A and B are shown apart, each in its own frame.
Chain A
Amino acid sequence: MRMPEQRSPTPASFLPDFCAAPAVLVVVLIVELVALTMTIARQSLQQNFWVDLAATSLFLLWIGLGCAAVLCRSRAWLASMPPGRAAAIAIAMLVAVVGIVSELVYQAGRLGRFDLSAAMNVFPTDHAGFLLRNMAVGFIVSALALRYFYVTAEWKRSVEMEALARIHALQARIRPHFLFNSMNTIASLTRTDPARAEQAIEDLADLFRASLHDAHTQISLKEEIEIARTHERIEQLRLGNRLRVEWEIDGLPLRAQVPCLIVQPLLENAVYHGIEMLPTGGTIHIRGELVQDRIEIEVRNPVLAQQGYREREGNRMALENIRQRLELAWPGRAWVETAQSDGEFRAKLIFPFTESRPSVIGL
């Protein structure tokens, strides 16, 4: 059996991706704040605030974007070393960029005889002093910026870790009630119907294997439905004709990619909180369809009228778990709707249709 596919973890770097717009935007923001700070500090020497600000911004933007380009290029390399060294090297490179851009601007101003009038006023007469001061400011600002990126990255990482830990904890919770009842059914079948007992053990093994996948694991919708059907087969042995399941899923694109265990827990809930509590049992309806570019899967089951079905702890937890899985796969673009009326409970999953990559999961 091959191991489940996992999303390759990005190298643990505190530096954001400077090739992407969000990080570049942050760089521009930092640059403008520095430019503003410097301009305000110089106000007593300068007549025109806005001209000074524009010139300083222009100069610093070249430096800022240069720095972003360098970090963008060297990110993978920096990520491969310990954070302390990566930070030191990054700062050295940034200071070098400041030096080079300052030198270029100085030379351009001196040789090109551009009319930089107002802006050139800030240029000192001594070449070395100009470079050194710029590089000192560059050193301080880049050290502060890197510290900012580091703290942000750490915070994000801890939030993510916490969410993952919670999902793992929830995931480990194959309902003991289901496990022991299935074992009891199998114990009974080994005497009366060994062939079915064998199938039940195989089904149970498959279910457990699926429950061991981590929260990031994506499988095809076809596989997810197969897992749910496996669950259904085991429950059927136990509950006999009290449990009826109607599948209406012809409209589903089976090659769609989904997080593991999003349909099966809904079925498990429908049995545990719905069918099992009804003396004559009932029918669970599972309906799925593709609506534009969204997949909708709805599970409906009858419930005992006087029961506060939605509030029950186990049900709420399973739904919360599914919600988290969907959120992890499609942040902000997938959700779970639940409703209860007329002795019926409905749970509906809505998520974007994502084409499956070639499947490597072994089921």
Chain B
Amino acid sequence: MKILIVDDEPPARERLRSLLAEIGDCEIIGEASNGEEALELCSQLKPDVVLLDVRMPGISGLEVARHIDSLADPPAVIFTTAYDQYAVEAFETEAVGYLLKPVRKEKLAHALRHAARIPPSRLTRIAESAGFEQRRERICARLGDQLRLIPVEDIYYFLADQKYITVRHKGGEDLIDESLKSLAEEFSNDFIRIHRNALVAEKQISAVERTEDGQYVVRVRDCGAVLQVSRRHAAELLRRIRGES
């Protein structure tokens, strides 16, 4: 069993390492001290199980778990936490593997035997009841074996075609495998649905224009793209734009 340890505190990682050595029958293939490192190592090393600290600087454990799920063959996740009443209650309710620090050897062995992949729907519910920020700060795109994290701040728009969603952002274009509907709900504060297949960052809209045939279009500030507005979404768009100014 290949294991990745993720914790921002060196003594905590050290303890897990020595416990795992005693349990045997597993191999520690890497250690990460923050969320980004964890995602990188996940896609590189393909662990079977990730021991994941919940409270970390930068990307929290819960958000890491969500991104992990976009991997081709996502590893099982076991959360570790020293104290977080609400998160622990949520783990219980969603029947997700977790360990309380200081971790006991028997419990660690037991958790490893029962480790399972956590579907995103459960993670959303956990974040909800644990009072964590549900909105992600980054979107995760997969490039072959690599995971690419795109800060939501940098995103200009999402455009859906039959199978995938194209994310246009400061760093270029990526494909993600999510539904536009759930993205629209998650980021409803900062993004506006302008078409059945398009979601635009509100702050990126430089102008709304009317074409000769009576259609509305949106100009995107930083990339200069022009996107079509459907009749159904035009009213809502104009209302929000006016509300802004």
Contacts and interface: CB of A to CB of B under 8 A. Distances in A.
Interface of A: 176-177, 179-181, 183-189, 191-192, 237-240, 242, 276-279, 304
Contact of A180 (B8, B15, B58, B101): B101
Contact of A192 (B12, B14, B84): B14
B177 interface: no
Range for the number of chain B residues in contact with chain A: 10 to 19
Contact of A185 (B12, B58, B84, B100): B12
Nearest to B104: A187
Given A180-B82, A279-B58, A187 B102 contact: yes
B214 interface: no
Nearest to B16: A188
Contacts, number: 63
A238 B101 contact: no
B82 A239 contact: no
B102 A279 contact: no
B57 interface: yes
Given A191-B18, A279-B58, A181 B9 contact: yes
Nearest to A237: B11
Interface centre among B34, B82, B103 (most CB of A within 10 A): B82
Contacts of B84: 177
Given A177-B55, A180-B101, A277-B57, 14 more contacts: A180-B100, A183-B82, A184-B15, A185-B9, A187-B102, A188-B11, A188-B12, A188-B18, A188-B102, A191-B14, A191-B15, A191-B18, A238-B9, A278-B57
A83 to B, nearest CB: 45
B10 A181 contact: no
Contact of B14 (A180, A186, A188, A239): A188
B101 A184 contact: yes
B34 A279 contact: yes
Contacts of A278: 57
A276 B57 contact: yes
B102 A184 contact: yes
A305 to B, nearest CB: 12
B83 interface: yes
Contacts of B9: 181, 184-185, 238-240
A289 B18 CA distance: 46
B34 A177 contact: no
A93 B8 CA distance: 74
B57 A181 contact: no
Interface string B43-60: 000000000000101100
